[in-house]
Structure 1
Amino acid sequence: MKKLLLMITFISLSQIKAQIDPLKYPTFTNIEDAVKSDKPVYSISFRDKGLFNIPKDIVKMNSLFFLNVMGNNLEKIDQEIFTLKELEILNLSANSIKFIPNEIGELKKLHTLSINLNSLTKINPNLAKLQSLKTVHFDANNLNVFPEALLEISSLEEINLSNNQISFVSQDLNKIKNLKYLNLSSNQINDLAEVRFPKNIKYLELQQNAIVGLPEFLFKSENIEFLNVSHNNLKEISHKVKGLKNVVSINLANNQLKDLPKEFSQLKNLKTLILAGNPMDQETIKKLKELMPRTQIYF
Protein backbone atom coordinates (compact mmCIF):
# COMPACT_ATOMS: atom_id res chain seq x y z
CA MET A 1 0.00 0.00 0.00
CA LYS A 2 2.81 2.42 0.89
CA LYS A 3 4.48 1.77 -2.47
CA LEU A 4 1.20 2.51 -4.23
CA LEU A 5 0.72 5.76 -2.30
CA LEU A 6 4.31 6.73 -3.04
CA MET A 7 3.72 6.13 -6.75
CA ILE A 8 0.57 8.28 -6.67
CA THR A 9 2.52 10.99 -4.86
CA PHE A 10 5.22 10.85 -7.53
CA ILE A 11 2.61 11.17 -10.29
CA SER A 12 1.08 14.20 -8.56
CA LEU A 13 4.51 15.76 -8.21
CA SER A 14 5.25 15.11 -11.86
CA GLN A 15 2.06 16.93 -12.81
CA ILE A 16 3.12 19.91 -10.71
CA LYS A 17 6.61 19.97 -12.22
CA ALA A 18 5.10 19.77 -15.69
CA GLN A 19 3.57 23.18 -15.03
CA ILE A 20 7.01 24.69 -14.35
CA ASP A 21 8.90 25.85 -17.43
CA PRO A 22 12.31 24.08 -17.11
CA LEU A 23 14.01 26.73 -19.25
CA LYS A 24 12.64 29.70 -17.39
CA TYR A 25 12.74 28.01 -13.98
CA PRO A 26 15.49 25.33 -13.92
CA THR A 27 15.25 22.98 -10.93
CA PHE A 28 18.42 22.69 -8.87
CA THR A 29 19.09 19.37 -7.13
CA ASN A 30 21.83 20.43 -4.71
CA ILE A 31 22.32 23.52 -2.60
CA GLU A 32 25.89 24.13 -3.80
CA ASP A 33 24.85 24.77 -7.39
CA ALA A 34 21.91 26.87 -6.26
CA VAL A 35 24.16 29.12 -4.15
CA LYS A 36 26.60 29.55 -7.05
CA SER A 37 23.88 30.56 -9.50
CA ASP A 38 24.17 34.13 -10.77
CA LYS A 39 20.42 34.15 -11.44
CA PRO A 40 17.49 33.95 -9.02
CA VAL A 41 16.71 30.39 -7.94
CA TYR A 42 13.03 29.53 -8.26
CA SER A 43 12.93 25.74 -7.98
CA ILE A 44 14.85 23.18 -5.87
CA SER A 45 14.36 19.43 -5.50
CA PHE A 46 16.12 17.47 -2.75
CA ARG A 47 14.08 14.35 -3.51
CA ASP A 48 15.53 11.10 -2.09
CA LYS A 49 18.77 12.69 -0.88
CA GLY A 50 18.80 10.97 2.52
CA LEU A 51 18.54 14.33 4.28
CA PHE A 52 17.87 14.62 8.01
CA ASN A 53 17.80 18.42 7.86
CA ILE A 54 17.26 21.13 5.26
CA PRO A 55 20.56 22.72 4.13
CA LYS A 56 21.10 25.97 6.04
CA ASP A 57 21.88 27.93 2.88
CA ILE A 58 18.29 27.50 1.71
CA VAL A 59 17.62 30.82 3.48
CA LYS A 60 19.56 32.55 0.68
CA MET A 61 16.96 31.49 -1.88
CA ASN A 62 14.75 34.57 -1.62
CA SER A 63 12.96 33.89 -4.91
CA LEU A 64 12.22 30.20 -4.35
CA PHE A 65 8.61 29.22 -5.15
CA PHE A 66 8.99 25.42 -5.55
CA LEU A 67 10.64 23.17 -2.95
CA ASN A 68 10.54 19.38 -3.05
CA VAL A 69 11.98 17.48 -0.08
CA MET A 70 10.08 14.27 -0.74
CA GLY A 71 11.50 10.92 0.36
CA ASN A 72 14.04 11.96 2.98
CA ASN A 73 14.48 11.42 6.73
CA LEU A 74 13.05 14.64 8.16
CA GLU A 75 11.41 14.30 11.57
CA LYS A 76 10.51 17.98 11.74
CA ILE A 77 10.01 20.93 9.42
CA ASP A 78 13.17 22.99 9.77
CA GLN A 79 12.82 26.69 10.57
CA GLU A 80 14.79 27.63 7.46
CA ILE A 81 11.78 26.73 5.32
CA PHE A 82 9.68 29.42 6.96
CA THR A 83 12.05 32.14 5.74
CA LEU A 84 11.03 31.37 2.13
CA LYS A 85 8.30 33.98 1.80
CA GLU A 86 7.83 33.45 -1.96
CA LEU A 87 7.20 29.71 -1.60
CA GLU A 88 4.08 28.53 -3.45
CA ILE A 89 4.58 24.76 -3.69
CA LEU A 90 6.01 22.73 -0.80
CA ASN A 91 6.34 18.94 -0.95
CA LEU A 92 7.42 17.21 2.27
CA SER A 93 5.85 13.84 1.54
CA ALA A 94 7.41 10.49 2.51
CA ASN A 95 9.40 11.68 5.52
CA SER A 96 8.86 11.07 9.26
CA ILE A 97 7.42 14.45 10.25
CA LYS A 98 5.39 14.31 13.45
CA PHE A 99 4.05 17.86 13.76
CA ILE A 100 3.63 21.16 11.91
CA PRO A 101 5.19 24.19 13.69
CA ASN A 102 3.30 27.42 14.36
CA GLU A 103 5.48 29.17 11.80
CA ILE A 104 3.61 27.43 8.97
CA GLY A 105 1.33 30.47 9.02
CA GLU A 106 4.16 32.63 7.67
CA LEU A 107 4.13 31.03 4.21
CA LYS A 108 1.37 33.32 2.97
CA LYS A 109 1.85 32.58 -0.74
CA LEU A 110 1.67 28.80 -0.40
CA HIS A 111 -1.00 27.27 -2.64
CA THR A 112 0.07 23.59 -2.65
CA LEU A 113 1.14 21.73 0.50
CA SER A 114 1.96 18.01 0.55
CA ILE A 115 2.86 16.34 3.86
CA ASN A 116 1.45 12.93 3.05
CA LEU A 117 3.17 9.67 4.04
CA ASN A 118 4.41 11.10 7.33
CA SER A 119 3.52 10.67 11.03
CA LEU A 120 1.21 13.62 11.71
CA THR A 121 -1.38 13.14 14.46
CA LYS A 122 -2.91 16.62 14.17
CA ILE A 123 -2.80 19.73 12.00
CA ASN A 124 -1.61 23.03 13.46
CA PRO A 125 -4.44 25.63 13.67
CA ASN A 126 -2.07 28.23 12.18
CA LEU A 127 -2.55 26.52 8.84
CA ALA A 128 -5.75 28.58 8.65
CA LYS A 129 -3.59 31.65 8.04
CA LEU A 130 -2.69 30.32 4.59
CA GLN A 131 -5.57 31.87 2.71
CA SER A 132 -4.01 31.20 -0.72
CA LEU A 133 -3.99 27.42 -0.26
CA LYS A 134 -5.72 25.48 -3.02
CA THR A 135 -4.37 21.95 -2.54
CA VAL A 136 -3.45 19.98 0.59
CA HIS A 137 -2.29 16.37 0.75
CA PHE A 138 -2.27 14.95 4.29
CA ASP A 139 -3.03 11.37 3.27
CA ALA A 140 -1.27 8.41 4.90
CA ASN A 141 -0.68 9.97 8.31
CA ASN A 142 -2.18 9.25 11.75
CA LEU A 143 -4.94 11.87 11.88
CA ASN A 144 -8.14 10.90 13.73
CA VAL A 145 -10.35 13.93 13.06
CA PHE A 146 -10.95 16.19 10.08
CA PRO A 147 -8.57 19.16 10.62
CA GLU A 148 -10.59 22.15 11.81
CA ALA A 149 -8.05 24.57 10.30
CA LEU A 150 -9.09 23.50 6.80
CA LEU A 151 -12.62 24.76 7.44
CA GLU A 152 -11.23 28.29 7.64
CA ILE A 153 -9.59 28.20 4.20
CA SER A 154 -12.36 28.83 1.69
CA SER A 155 -9.87 28.95 -1.20
CA LEU A 156 -9.17 25.20 -0.94
CA GLU A 157 -10.11 23.22 -4.04
CA GLU A 158 -8.51 19.83 -3.30
CA ILE A 159 -8.14 17.95 -0.01
CA ASN A 160 -6.69 14.46 0.34
CA LEU A 161 -7.03 12.89 3.80
CA SER A 162 -7.18 9.26 2.73
CA ASN A 163 -5.45 6.47 4.66
CA ASN A 164 -5.65 8.07 8.08
CA GLN A 165 -7.67 7.07 11.16
CA ILE A 166 -10.36 9.74 10.87
CA SER A 167 -13.62 8.85 12.58
CA PHE A 168 -15.14 12.33 12.90
CA VAL A 169 -15.87 14.80 10.10
CA SER A 170 -17.12 18.30 10.91
CA GLN A 171 -20.66 19.09 9.80
CA ASP A 172 -19.43 22.44 8.48
CA LEU A 173 -17.56 21.19 5.41
CA ASN A 174 -19.63 23.61 3.35
CA LYS A 175 -17.51 26.45 4.77
CA ILE A 176 -14.85 25.37 2.26
CA LYS A 177 -16.83 27.01 -0.52
CA ASN A 178 -14.47 26.31 -3.43
CA LEU A 179 -13.80 22.65 -2.62
CA LYS A 180 -14.06 20.47 -5.72
CA TYR A 181 -12.15 17.30 -4.76
CA LEU A 182 -12.33 15.56 -1.38
CA ASN A 183 -10.76 12.20 -0.60
CA LEU A 184 -11.67 10.66 2.77
CA SER A 185 -11.21 7.05 1.71
CA SER A 186 -9.63 4.38 3.92
CA ASN A 187 -10.49 5.94 7.25
CA GLN A 188 -12.79 4.91 10.12
CA ILE A 189 -15.83 7.05 9.33
CA ASN A 190 -19.24 5.57 10.12
CA ASP A 191 -21.51 8.58 10.61
CA LEU A 192 -21.94 11.44 8.13
CA ALA A 193 -25.54 12.22 9.06
CA GLU A 194 -25.11 15.93 9.78
CA VAL A 195 -22.30 16.71 7.34
CA ARG A 196 -23.04 19.52 4.89
CA PHE A 197 -20.96 19.14 1.75
CA PRO A 198 -19.85 22.16 -0.32
CA LYS A 199 -22.15 22.82 -3.26
CA ASN A 200 -19.23 23.01 -5.72
CA ILE A 201 -17.80 19.59 -4.92
CA LYS A 202 -17.30 17.41 -8.01
CA TYR A 203 -15.23 14.44 -6.85
CA LEU A 204 -16.01 12.72 -3.55
CA GLU A 205 -14.18 9.60 -2.39
CA LEU A 206 -15.54 7.86 0.71
CA GLN A 207 -14.63 4.26 -0.07
CA GLN A 208 -13.27 1.82 2.52
CA ASN A 209 -14.83 3.28 5.63
CA ALA A 210 -17.69 1.99 7.81
CA ILE A 211 -20.42 4.34 6.59
CA VAL A 212 -23.95 3.12 7.30
CA GLY A 213 -25.89 5.92 5.61
CA LEU A 214 -25.39 8.87 3.28
CA PRO A 215 -26.37 12.31 4.62
CA GLU A 216 -29.37 14.17 3.21
CA PHE A 217 -27.15 17.17 2.48
CA LEU A 218 -25.08 15.11 0.06
CA PHE A 219 -28.02 14.77 -2.31
CA LYS A 220 -28.22 18.56 -2.58
CA SER A 221 -24.75 18.63 -4.16
CA GLU A 222 -25.87 19.12 -7.75
CA ASN A 223 -22.31 19.50 -9.07
CA ILE A 224 -21.04 16.07 -8.00
CA GLU A 225 -19.80 14.12 -11.02
CA PHE A 226 -17.92 11.22 -9.40
CA LEU A 227 -19.01 9.55 -6.16
CA ASN A 228 -17.27 6.53 -4.64
CA VAL A 229 -18.83 4.97 -1.53
CA SER A 230 -17.70 1.41 -2.16
CA HIS A 231 -16.59 -0.95 0.64
CA ASN A 232 -18.86 0.48 3.33
CA ASN A 233 -21.94 -0.74 5.23
CA LEU A 234 -24.75 0.91 3.26
CA LYS A 235 -28.06 -0.96 3.37
CA GLU A 236 -30.16 1.55 1.46
CA ILE A 237 -29.93 4.72 -0.62
CA SER A 238 -32.40 7.57 -0.13
CA HIS A 239 -34.85 8.45 -2.90
CA LYS A 240 -33.32 11.94 -2.66
CA VAL A 241 -30.43 10.60 -4.74
CA LYS A 242 -32.31 12.22 -7.64
CA GLY A 243 -30.73 15.50 -6.50
CA LEU A 244 -27.37 14.41 -7.95
CA LYS A 245 -28.33 15.79 -11.34
CA ASN A 246 -24.84 15.94 -12.84
CA VAL A 247 -23.38 12.72 -11.49
CA VAL A 248 -21.55 10.68 -14.14
CA SER A 249 -20.18 7.80 -12.08
CA ILE A 250 -21.29 6.17 -8.81
CA ASN A 251 -19.43 3.32 -7.16
CA LEU A 252 -21.51 1.45 -4.55
CA ALA A 253 -19.63 -1.85 -4.74
CA ASN A 254 -19.24 -4.08 -1.69
CA ASN A 255 -21.99 -2.71 0.51
CA GLN A 256 -25.16 -4.37 1.86
CA LEU A 257 -27.58 -3.06 -0.76
CA LYS A 258 -30.42 -5.34 -1.84
CA ASP A 259 -32.10 -2.78 -4.09
CA LEU A 260 -32.00 0.84 -5.27
CA PRO A 261 -34.81 3.43 -5.34
CA LYS A 262 -36.56 4.05 -8.66
CA GLU A 263 -35.31 7.66 -8.54
CA PHE A 264 -32.01 6.43 -9.97
CA SER A 265 -33.78 6.56 -13.34
CA GLN A 266 -33.84 10.37 -13.02
CA LEU A 267 -30.03 10.57 -13.09
CA LYS A 268 -29.86 11.36 -16.80
CA ASN A 269 -26.08 11.95 -16.83
CA LEU A 270 -25.18 8.73 -15.01
CA LYS A 271 -22.92 6.71 -17.31
CA THR A 272 -21.41 4.19 -14.89
CA LEU A 273 -22.89 2.49 -11.82
CA ILE A 274 -20.88 -0.15 -9.95
CA LEU A 275 -22.88 -2.50 -7.73
CA ALA A 276 -20.61 -5.56 -7.57
CA GLY A 277 -20.41 -7.28 -4.20
CA ASN A 278 -23.94 -6.37 -3.02
CA PRO A 279 -26.56 -9.01 -2.08
CA MET A 280 -28.89 -8.39 -5.04
CA ASP A 281 -30.97 -11.19 -6.50
CA GLN A 282 -31.43 -11.79 -10.22
CA GLU A 283 -34.89 -10.24 -10.28
CA THR A 284 -33.55 -6.99 -8.83
CA ILE A 285 -30.64 -6.96 -11.26
CA LYS A 286 -33.03 -7.35 -14.19
CA LYS A 287 -35.27 -4.57 -12.86
CA LEU A 288 -32.36 -2.14 -12.44
CA LYS A 289 -31.12 -2.81 -15.97
CA GLU A 290 -34.55 -1.95 -17.31
CA LEU A 291 -34.78 1.10 -15.06
CA MET A 292 -31.48 2.54 -16.35
CA PRO A 293 -31.02 1.35 -19.94
CA ARG A 294 -28.47 4.05 -20.79
CA THR A 295 -26.28 3.40 -17.76
CA GLN A 296 -23.48 0.84 -17.78
CA ILE A 297 -24.14 -1.17 -14.62
CA TYR A 298 -21.59 -3.58 -13.16
CA PHE A 299 -23.01 -6.27 -10.86
Structure 2
Amino acid sequence: MKRKLALCAAVLCLTMALSPSAFAAESVVISQSSAPPEVCYPTSVSRSEDGTEIRKYYDLGPEEDPAGIPRSDFEQDGFRYTLIDLLKQELPENESRQHTETVSLESKSKDMESVLALLPQEKEFITEDGLSGVLTLQLDTVQVEVAGYGSSTREVSATRSYPNLASQDTANIPKTIEDNGRTLTLQNISWQTDNTANTDGYAMGDRFTAVATYTGSATSSYVTGYTVTADYSGTVSRIALNKTRYVAIFEGTAIEPLAPLPDSDSSPVQFNWAYILVPLGVVFAAGGVIGGCLLYKRKHESEEESE
Protein backbone atom coordinates (compact mmCIF):
# COMPACT_ATOMS: atom_id res chain seq x y z
CA MET A 1 0.00 0.00 0.00
CA LYS A 2 2.89 2.34 0.73
CA ARG A 3 4.10 1.70 -2.79
CA LYS A 4 0.78 2.83 -4.22
CA LEU A 5 0.85 5.98 -2.11
CA ALA A 6 4.38 6.82 -3.24
CA LEU A 7 3.41 6.12 -6.83
CA CYS A 8 0.49 8.58 -6.65
CA ALA A 9 2.74 11.32 -5.26
CA ALA A 10 5.32 10.69 -7.98
CA VAL A 11 2.68 10.87 -10.71
CA LEU A 12 1.42 14.19 -9.31
CA CYS A 13 4.91 15.74 -9.23
CA LEU A 14 5.75 14.51 -12.71
CA THR A 15 2.49 15.91 -14.13
CA MET A 16 3.11 19.34 -12.60
CA ALA A 17 6.70 19.41 -13.87
CA LEU A 18 5.96 18.31 -17.43
CA SER A 19 2.83 20.40 -18.14
CA PRO A 20 4.62 23.75 -18.80
CA SER A 21 7.18 22.00 -20.99
CA ALA A 22 4.45 20.43 -23.08
CA PHE A 23 2.74 23.79 -23.61
CA ALA A 24 6.04 25.43 -24.54
CA ALA A 25 6.87 22.71 -27.02
CA GLU A 26 3.44 23.05 -28.63
CA SER A 27 3.83 26.85 -29.05
CA VAL A 28 7.25 26.44 -30.66
CA VAL A 29 5.92 23.97 -33.17
CA ILE A 30 3.07 26.30 -34.11
CA SER A 31 5.32 29.31 -34.52
CA GLN A 32 7.78 27.39 -36.68
CA SER A 33 5.11 25.98 -38.95
CA SER A 34 3.80 29.42 -40.15
CA ALA A 35 6.57 31.38 -41.90
CA PRO A 36 5.79 35.12 -42.24
CA PRO A 37 5.42 36.45 -45.79
CA GLU A 38 8.01 38.78 -47.27
CA VAL A 39 7.43 42.42 -46.28
CA CYS A 40 6.09 44.69 -49.04
CA TYR A 41 7.20 48.32 -49.35
CA PRO A 42 4.95 51.14 -50.60
CA THR A 43 5.44 52.72 -54.02
CA SER A 44 4.20 56.08 -52.71
CA VAL A 45 2.60 57.58 -49.58
CA SER A 46 0.09 60.44 -49.26
CA ARG A 47 -1.03 62.25 -46.11
CA SER A 48 -4.06 64.49 -45.61
CA GLU A 49 -3.49 68.12 -44.67
CA ASP A 50 -4.93 67.68 -41.17
CA GLY A 51 -2.93 64.49 -40.59
CA THR A 52 -5.98 62.31 -39.90
CA GLU A 53 -5.40 59.94 -42.84
CA ILE A 54 -2.42 58.30 -44.50
CA ARG A 55 -2.65 56.25 -47.69
CA LYS A 56 0.11 53.84 -48.69
CA TYR A 57 0.17 52.59 -52.29
CA TYR A 58 1.60 49.17 -53.14
CA ASP A 59 2.06 48.10 -56.78
CA LEU A 60 2.63 44.35 -56.55
CA GLY A 61 3.53 41.88 -59.25
CA PRO A 62 2.07 38.38 -59.60
CA GLU A 63 4.92 36.89 -57.57
CA GLU A 64 4.44 39.25 -54.60
CA ASP A 65 2.12 38.28 -51.73
CA PRO A 66 -0.19 41.08 -50.47
CA ALA A 67 -0.12 39.41 -47.06
CA GLY A 68 3.26 41.11 -46.66
CA ILE A 69 1.64 44.56 -46.57
CA PRO A 70 2.14 45.92 -43.01
CA ARG A 71 -1.14 46.31 -41.15
CA SER A 72 0.08 47.14 -37.64
CA ASP A 73 -0.63 50.44 -35.90
CA PHE A 74 2.15 53.03 -35.93
CA GLU A 75 2.82 56.52 -34.58
CA GLN A 76 3.95 59.52 -36.63
CA ASP A 77 3.98 63.30 -36.05
CA GLY A 78 1.80 63.16 -32.93
CA PHE A 79 -0.81 60.77 -34.39
CA ARG A 80 -1.47 57.06 -33.90
CA TYR A 81 -2.59 55.41 -37.14
CA THR A 82 -4.79 52.33 -37.43
CA LEU A 83 -5.58 50.42 -40.62
CA ILE A 84 -9.26 50.86 -41.51
CA ASP A 85 -9.33 49.56 -45.09
CA LEU A 86 -7.19 47.80 -47.70
CA LEU A 87 -8.34 48.42 -51.27
CA LYS A 88 -7.41 46.40 -54.34
CA GLN A 89 -7.24 48.13 -57.73
CA GLU A 90 -6.50 46.56 -61.06
CA LEU A 91 -4.12 48.95 -62.84
CA PRO A 92 -4.85 49.68 -66.51
CA GLU A 93 -2.31 48.69 -69.10
CA ASN A 94 -1.55 52.35 -69.82
CA GLU A 95 -2.16 55.09 -67.23
CA SER A 96 -1.84 58.78 -68.19
CA ARG A 97 -2.88 62.20 -66.88
CA GLN A 98 -2.12 65.91 -67.17
CA HIS A 99 0.62 67.15 -64.88
CA THR A 100 2.11 70.56 -64.00
CA GLU A 101 5.53 70.92 -62.41
CA THR A 102 6.88 74.21 -60.98
CA VAL A 103 10.62 74.82 -61.23
CA SER A 104 12.69 77.42 -59.38
CA LEU A 105 16.21 78.59 -60.19
CA GLU A 106 18.59 81.49 -59.54
CA SER A 107 19.55 84.21 -62.04
CA LYS A 108 22.08 87.05 -61.88
CA SER A 109 19.99 89.23 -64.17
CA LYS A 110 16.31 90.12 -64.49
CA ASP A 111 16.61 90.65 -68.22
CA MET A 112 14.00 88.38 -69.80
CA GLU A 113 16.31 87.25 -72.60
CA SER A 114 18.88 86.09 -70.03
CA VAL A 115 16.15 84.45 -67.95
CA LEU A 116 14.67 82.49 -70.86
CA ALA A 117 18.14 81.24 -71.75
CA LEU A 118 18.07 79.39 -68.40
CA LEU A 119 14.71 77.74 -69.10
CA PRO A 120 14.61 74.99 -71.75
CA GLN A 121 11.43 74.75 -73.78
CA GLU A 122 10.91 71.09 -72.79
CA LYS A 123 11.94 68.99 -69.80
CA GLU A 124 11.51 65.33 -68.82
CA PHE A 125 9.82 64.71 -65.49
CA ILE A 126 8.95 61.68 -63.35
CA THR A 127 6.18 62.05 -60.78
CA GLU A 128 6.29 60.66 -57.24
CA ASP A 129 4.04 57.73 -58.20
CA GLY A 130 6.18 56.75 -61.20
CA LEU A 131 4.51 58.43 -64.20
CA SER A 132 6.89 60.08 -66.68
CA GLY A 133 6.64 62.39 -69.67
CA VAL A 134 7.96 65.48 -71.49
CA LEU A 135 6.52 68.77 -70.21
CA THR A 136 6.50 72.11 -72.05
CA LEU A 137 7.41 75.53 -70.62
CA GLN A 138 4.43 77.84 -70.05
CA LEU A 139 5.79 81.31 -70.92
CA ASP A 140 2.96 83.18 -69.19
CA THR A 141 3.97 81.67 -65.84
CA VAL A 142 7.59 82.91 -65.85
CA GLN A 143 8.17 85.23 -62.87
CA VAL A 144 11.33 87.03 -61.72
CA GLU A 145 11.69 88.26 -58.14
CA VAL A 146 14.55 89.82 -56.20
CA ALA A 147 16.36 87.14 -54.20
CA GLY A 148 18.21 89.52 -51.87
CA TYR A 149 20.09 92.77 -51.38
CA GLY A 150 23.66 93.66 -50.48
CA SER A 151 25.34 96.91 -49.43
CA SER A 152 28.65 98.63 -50.20
CA THR A 153 30.44 101.62 -48.66
CA ARG A 154 32.72 104.06 -50.50
CA GLU A 155 34.61 107.19 -49.51
CA VAL A 156 33.46 110.61 -50.86
CA SER A 157 35.13 114.02 -50.64
CA ALA A 158 34.37 117.67 -51.38
CA THR A 159 36.34 120.96 -51.31
CA ARG A 160 35.30 124.42 -50.16
CA SER A 161 37.15 127.72 -50.59
CA TYR A 162 37.06 130.48 -47.99
CA PRO A 163 38.76 133.64 -49.46
CA ASN A 164 39.77 137.03 -48.02
CA LEU A 165 40.75 135.78 -44.59
CA ALA A 166 42.90 138.05 -42.44
CA SER A 167 44.96 135.20 -41.03
CA GLN A 168 45.48 131.51 -41.30
CA ASP A 169 43.22 130.84 -38.38
CA THR A 170 41.37 127.50 -38.61
CA ALA A 171 38.76 128.66 -36.10
CA ASN A 172 36.92 130.38 -38.93
CA ILE A 173 36.76 127.22 -41.05
CA PRO A 174 33.61 125.02 -40.64
CA LYS A 175 34.45 121.60 -39.24
CA THR A 176 31.59 119.84 -41.11
CA ILE A 177 29.55 120.51 -44.20
CA GLU A 178 26.46 118.98 -45.86
CA ASP A 179 27.00 117.63 -49.38
CA ASN A 180 24.24 115.77 -51.31
CA GLY A 181 22.50 114.85 -48.09
CA ARG A 182 25.67 113.50 -46.47
CA THR A 183 27.65 115.02 -43.61
CA LEU A 184 31.36 115.42 -44.40
CA THR A 185 34.10 116.14 -41.89
CA LEU A 186 37.05 118.53 -42.33
CA GLN A 187 40.10 116.53 -43.31
CA ASN A 188 42.71 119.04 -44.60
CA ILE A 189 43.23 122.81 -45.22
CA SER A 190 45.43 124.34 -47.90
CA TRP A 191 46.27 128.07 -47.58
CA GLN A 192 46.75 130.52 -50.43
CA THR A 193 48.01 134.15 -50.15
CA ASP A 194 46.03 136.99 -51.76
CA ASN A 195 47.87 140.35 -52.44
CA THR A 196 45.09 142.91 -52.67
CA ALA A 197 44.88 146.74 -52.64
CA ASN A 198 42.17 149.18 -51.65
CA THR A 199 40.40 151.60 -54.00
CA ASP A 200 43.13 154.29 -53.58
CA GLY A 201 45.85 151.93 -54.70
CA TYR A 202 47.42 151.49 -51.30
CA ALA A 203 48.34 147.94 -50.25
CA MET A 204 46.07 146.40 -47.65
CA GLY A 205 48.48 143.61 -46.65
CA ASP A 206 48.30 139.89 -47.22
CA ARG A 207 44.94 138.21 -47.27
CA PHE A 208 44.45 134.47 -47.30
CA THR A 209 42.21 131.92 -48.99
CA ALA A 210 41.58 128.61 -47.26
CA VAL A 211 40.91 125.58 -49.47
CA ALA A 212 39.35 122.99 -47.18
CA THR A 213 38.93 119.32 -48.02
CA TYR A 214 36.08 117.37 -46.42
CA THR A 215 35.66 113.58 -46.47
CA GLY A 216 32.98 111.08 -45.49
CA SER A 217 31.43 107.75 -46.50
CA ALA A 218 28.46 106.80 -48.65
CA THR A 219 26.55 103.50 -48.39
CA SER A 220 24.57 102.12 -51.30
CA SER A 221 22.52 98.95 -51.75
CA TYR A 222 22.45 96.60 -54.71
CA VAL A 223 20.59 93.46 -55.80
CA THR A 224 22.51 90.25 -55.16
CA GLY A 225 20.43 88.11 -57.53
CA TYR A 226 17.00 87.05 -58.72
CA THR A 227 14.76 83.99 -58.28
CA VAL A 228 13.02 82.67 -61.40
CA THR A 229 9.94 80.43 -61.22
CA ALA A 230 8.07 78.85 -64.11
CA ASP A 231 5.55 76.07 -64.78
CA TYR A 232 5.97 73.11 -67.13
CA SER A 233 2.82 71.26 -68.22
CA GLY A 234 2.09 68.17 -70.26
CA THR A 235 0.97 64.54 -70.19
CA VAL A 236 2.68 61.90 -68.05
CA SER A 237 2.02 58.18 -68.37
CA ARG A 238 3.29 54.71 -67.53
CA ILE A 239 2.74 51.06 -68.43
CA ALA A 240 1.33 48.95 -65.57
CA LEU A 241 3.34 45.81 -66.47
CA ASN A 242 0.73 43.39 -65.08
CA LYS A 243 0.72 44.79 -61.56
CA THR A 244 -2.04 45.11 -58.98
CA ARG A 245 -2.32 48.18 -56.76
CA TYR A 246 -3.23 47.89 -53.08
CA VAL A 247 -4.13 51.00 -51.11
CA ALA A 248 -3.74 50.72 -47.33
CA ILE A 249 -5.82 53.44 -45.64
CA PHE A 250 -4.80 54.35 -42.09
CA GLU A 251 -6.91 56.59 -39.85
CA GLY A 252 -4.99 58.88 -37.48
CA THR A 253 -5.95 59.83 -33.95
CA ALA A 254 -4.14 62.56 -32.06
CA ILE A 255 -2.03 61.15 -29.23
CA GLU A 256 -3.06 62.58 -25.88
CA PRO A 257 -0.19 63.48 -23.53
CA LEU A 258 0.35 61.00 -20.72
CA ALA A 259 -0.93 61.99 -17.28
CA PRO A 260 1.85 62.42 -14.69
CA LEU A 261 2.40 59.42 -12.43
CA PRO A 262 1.36 59.87 -8.77
CA ASP A 263 4.02 60.42 -6.17
CA SER A 264 5.44 57.11 -5.01
CA ASP A 265 5.43 58.32 -1.38
CA SER A 266 1.69 59.07 -1.36
CA SER A 267 0.33 56.27 -3.59
CA PRO A 268 -1.03 53.21 -1.77
CA VAL A 269 0.74 49.89 -2.21
CA GLN A 270 -1.30 47.48 -4.36
CA PHE A 271 -1.19 43.93 -3.01
CA ASN A 272 -1.00 41.17 -5.61
CA TRP A 273 -3.16 38.26 -4.40
CA ALA A 274 -1.63 35.99 -7.04
CA TYR A 275 1.42 35.56 -4.82
CA ILE A 276 -0.81 33.76 -2.26
CA LEU A 277 -3.56 32.20 -4.38
CA VAL A 278 -1.29 30.39 -6.85
CA PRO A 279 0.79 28.52 -4.20
CA LEU A 280 -2.41 27.71 -2.26
CA GLY A 281 -3.96 26.26 -5.41
CA VAL A 282 -0.96 24.02 -5.92
CA VAL A 283 -1.06 22.88 -2.28
CA PHE A 284 -4.80 22.13 -2.45
CA ALA A 285 -4.35 20.18 -5.66
CA ALA A 286 -1.55 18.12 -4.17
CA GLY A 287 -3.59 17.59 -0.97
CA GLY A 288 -6.55 16.36 -3.01
CA VAL A 289 -4.44 13.73 -4.73
CA ILE A 290 -2.86 12.60 -1.45
CA GLY A 291 -6.27 12.53 0.27
CA GLY A 292 -7.63 10.36 -2.51
CA CYS A 293 -4.76 7.95 -2.05
CA LEU A 294 -5.32 7.78 1.74
CA LEU A 295 -9.04 7.20 1.23
CA TYR A 296 -8.27 4.38 -1.14
CA LYS A 297 -5.87 2.90 1.43
CA ARG A 298 -8.46 2.93 4.24
CA LYS A 299 -11.10 1.39 2.04
CA HIS A 300 -8.75 -1.35 1.05
CA GLU A 301 -7.76 -2.06 4.70
CA SER A 302 -11.42 -2.19 5.78
CA GLU A 303 -12.17 -4.69 3.03
CA GLU A 304 -9.29 -6.90 4.23
CA GLU A 305 -10.54 -6.77 7.85
CA SER A 306 -14.09 -7.72 6.83
CA GLU A 307 -12.74 -10.74 4.94
Give me the TM-score of the superposition, normalised by structure 2: 0.16
Q: Comparing both structures, which one devotes a greater share of its residues to strand?
A: 2
The structure number with the bigger radius of gyration is 2
Output the TM-score relative to the length of structure 1. Answer: 0.16
| Structure ranking higher on relative contact order (CA contacts 8 Å, 6+ apart) | 2
